[in-house]
A = this chain, B = another copy of it.
Amino acid sequence: MTTSSGLDREVETRLAEHRIRYTSGRQILVRALAGAEGPLSAAELHDEVSGALPLSSIYRSLAVLEEAGVLAPHHGTKGLTRYELAEWLKGHHHHLVCIDCGAVEDVTVNDHHENQVDRVVNEISSKAAFTAFNHALEIEGRCARCA
């Protein structure tokens, strides 16, 4: 099983550390997520790959990839869990969540603003005796398509 892209290579290495195989089904999911604008749910991935993988396999693979730190979950409306590539693969970003269609779009901000956000996160965490691992600004509103 040859790896084609740099992404595949990075994921394969990570999975190898966890003694997990980077099978074709898992590659399909990772590539689908790499080409997405934002997090996707199991059902959305099922559509995206045109049923090439059964839903039950998608759920299992998503759980495996999350466990290995390749994917990060995002819990959205209607009990839907969407997944996206973890930040070490796709970079730190925030979320625009549409209250109409539920779609989530990834956005990044410049370093200056990101540093400000970091400071706020640190202040909050230290005050609350909370050990912060990650953070995201979740901005709720209406996307351009639903406006």
Contacts and interface: CB of A to CB of B under 8 A. Distances in A.
A143 interface: yes
Contacts of A127: 107
Interface in A117-139: 117, 119-121, 123-125, 127-139
A8 B145 CA distance: 38
* Size class of the A contact interface (CB-based, 8 Å): 35 or more
A133 B140 contact: yes
Contacts of A51: none
Interface of A: 73, 75-77, 79-81, 94, 96, 99, 105, 107, 109, 113, 116-117, 119-121, 123-125, 127-144, 147
Given A134-B141, A135-B140, 9 more contacts: A96-B130, A96-B132, A99-B133, A105-B128, A113-B119, A117-B117, A117-B137, A130-B144, A135-B138
